[in-house]
Amino acid sequence: MGDRLHGKVALVTGAARGLGEAQARLFAEQGAVVVLTDVDMDRGSAVAVELGASATFRRLDVRRAEDWAAVVRECTGTYGGVDVLVNNAGTGTIPGPIEHETTENHLLLVDLNLSGVWRGIRAVIPAMRKRGGGSIVNISSIDGLVGVAGMATYAATKFAVTGLTRTTALELGRHGIRVNSVHPGIMQTPLVEGASEAVRKALQDLVGLQPIARLGRPIEVAQAALFLASDESSYCTGAGIVVDGGHLAGPHRPGFDTA
């Protein structure tokens, strides 16, 4: 147990499993009142029960503005406001060239990965402003920093989250609201574990070229989010933390490191 978030109310989206679950668990351990949200009510409720009295679960579809309004209204009525928002909810995609991607899939990714973050930021601004400030942590991706062949829309949404982070940091700083992003690399999440054997092998080959040659762990992303959520990062806004095992540090050139 710790107290890095003591007295803070934290709202975490996509908290039923994966990265969001790790964030919710760590935040609760560090003294926050955590409101877990997700569309998976069974799993999300079970995690909240495990965390005890300091946690509660509410259903939230980040694509619905009315869901956002209801959850923030409840946080304000029950706990007095919102101090931390982690925009974690999102989805991946099946790799493939842009010409084969369906319009339906494109629009779904945009609505979940980008517009869901946009709605979340807008929803918490009044509550945070009334509290005198707050911290918004947007979970982007390393694919929001470099292009990725075969993942046009996914990368576009994550680039957009990076841009949205920096722009809203400029707008909201005067209200004491900090906005930062975390950029995970290839992580050991249910999304990756549920991928096809061919995709999993390709990912293992990629991480094998990294300085830290393994998949990332959800707790490692949660620890970065914790820093940005806490007062320890009080002079950080518009910034991004890369958690990728060195994936983006530069190209691996076999033989050069042993010459």
Q: What value does the mean pLDDT take over residues 203-209?
A: 90
Using CA atoms, how far residue 43 sits from 32, 46, 48, 75, 242, in Å, is 20, 5, 9, 21, 28
Question: How many of the other CB atoms lie within 10 Å of CB of 211?
Answer: 12
Conformation bin of residue 39: beta by default, left when phi > 0, alpha when psi is -120 to 50: alpha
Catalytic (active site) residue 154: yes
pLDDT, one tens digit per residue, over 68-82 is: 999 999 999 999 999
pLDDT, one tens digit per residue, over 79-102 is: 999 999 999 999 988 889 999 999
Integer Cα distance of 123 and 106 in angstroms: 24
Integer Cα distance of 225 and 180 in angstroms: 9
Integer Cα distance of 49 and 51 in angstroms: 5
pTM of the model: 0.95
The pLDDT score that the predictor gives to residue 168 is 98
Phi, psi of 202 (to 5 degrees): -60, -40
Q: Poorest-confidence range of 34-43, 99-108, 192-201?
A: 192-201
Catalytic residue among 57, 68, 154, 159: 154
DSSP 16: T
List, in sequence order, every beta strand (DSSP E) within 39-123: 55-59, 84-87
Q: Do 242 and 145 meet the contact criterion of CB atoms below 8 Å apart?
A: yes
Q: Do 182 and 244 meet the contact criterion of CB atoms below 8 Å apart?
A: no
Q: Is the pLDDT of residue 254 over 80?
A: no
Integer Cα distance of 80 and 228 in angstroms: 21
Q: How confident is the model at residue 6 (pLDDT cuts 50, 70, 90)?
A: very high
The arrangement of strands across the sheet holding 33-38 comes to 55-59, 33-38, 9-12, 84-87, 134-139, 177-184, 240-243
The pLDDT score that the predictor gives to residue 259 is 54
pLDDT, one tens digit per residue, over 9-46 is: 999 999 999 999 999 999 999 999 999 999 999 999 99
The pLDDT score that the predictor gives to residue 196 is 82
Q: Is the pLDDT of residue 258 over 70?
A: no
